[in-house]
């Protein structure tokens, strides 16, 4: 069973199980779905506004359409039911279509340091290559530690830069006829050897 859950419950779950758990406190709230088995929360999927204000113009010919980003997707690793994660996501798509008709597209990313997005491939989302890797600035604190700085100015500030990994881009159209509005070229699916960082394209 899926249902809407609080941001607090989602974050507690993500801190416990998500591979980016150190950053889960920064996850944004939005439409927060929970997957329950016997009244126990075993999965979380969060949809929120796109991370960049330029995404609509970059991704769409007609940028007036609404995009949401799947910010987090996580399943309790103890759950071994076949296809449960893909079924969970598919049901969130169904709910978005019914209860959030203003949404036209779902955009989601797969961090190339961890995976290539096989779950999205199983759900037949279209694949649109990798985005340019971002550079993150870490500012030095008074105690000598470093903290990630988000959108503040960094000129003249003591700290260092880290180049982040590439991210695979996947798109789900929630309405018919909207695929032709996507600017990004659709490619065959990509798999990745995370140990050696080798990318391989296979036909979708």
Domain count of the fold of the chain: 1
pLDDT of residue 201: 47
Question: Which of 21-30, 99-108, 145-154 reaches the highest mean pLDDT?
Answer: 99-108
Share of the chain above pLDDT 90, in %: 60
CATH of the domain at 142: 3.40.630.30
pLDDT of residue 29: 85
Pairwise pLDDT comparison (131 vs 172), residue with the higher score: 172
For residue 90, give the 3-state DSSP assignment.
helix
Pair 47, 30: CB distance under 8 Å: yes
Pair 103, 113: CB distance under 8 Å: no
pLDDT of residue 198: 46
Distance CA 173, CA 150 (A): 30
Query: 172: exposed, middle or buried (C-beta count within 10 Å: 0-12, 13-18, 19+)?
Result: buried
pLDDT at 202 over 90: no
Pair 128, 91: CB distance under 8 Å: no
Pair 31, 100: CB distance under 8 Å: yes
pLDDT of residue 23: 53
Pair 171, 105: CB distance under 8 Å: yes
Average pLDDT over residues 136-150: 66
**Which residues have CB under 8 Å from 122's CB, separation 6+?**
83, 86
Lowest-confidence pick of 25-34, 42-51, 155-164, 176-185: 155-164
**Which residues have CB under 8 Å from 34's CB, separation 6+?**
2, 3, 4, 5, 9, 10, 13, 41, 43, 44
Domain encompassing residue 182: 2-202
| pLDDT tens column, 62-119 | 999 999 999 999 999 999 999 999 999 999 999 999 999 999 999 999 886 656 788 9
Pair 42, 10: CB distance under 8 Å: no
């Amino acid at each position: 069973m899926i249902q809407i859950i609080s941001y607090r419950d989602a974050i507690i779950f993500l801190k416990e199980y998500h591979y980016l758990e150190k950053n889960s406190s920064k996850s944004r709230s939005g439409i927060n779905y929970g997957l329950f088995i016997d009244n126990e929360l075993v999965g979380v999927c969060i949809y929120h506004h796109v991370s960049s204000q330029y995404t609509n113009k970059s991704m769409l010919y007609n940028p007036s359409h609404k995009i949401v980003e799947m910010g987090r997707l996580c399943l309790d690793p103890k759950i071994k039911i076949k296809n449960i994660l893909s079924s969970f996501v598919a049901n969130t798509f169904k709910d978005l279509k019914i209860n959030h008709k203003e949404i036209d597209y779902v955009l989601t990313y797969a961090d190339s340091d961890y995976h290539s997005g096989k779950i999205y491939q199983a759900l037949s989302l279209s694949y649109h290559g990798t985005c340019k890797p971002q550079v993150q600035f870490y500012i030095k604190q008074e105690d000598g530690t470093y903290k990630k700085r988000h959108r503040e100015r960094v000129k003249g500030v003591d700290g260092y830069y880290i180049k982040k990994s590439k991210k695979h881009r996947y798109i789900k159209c929630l309405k018919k006829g909207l695929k032709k509005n996507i600017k990004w070229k659709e490619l065959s699916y990509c798999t990745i050897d995370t140990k050696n960082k080798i990318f391989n394209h296979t036909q979708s």
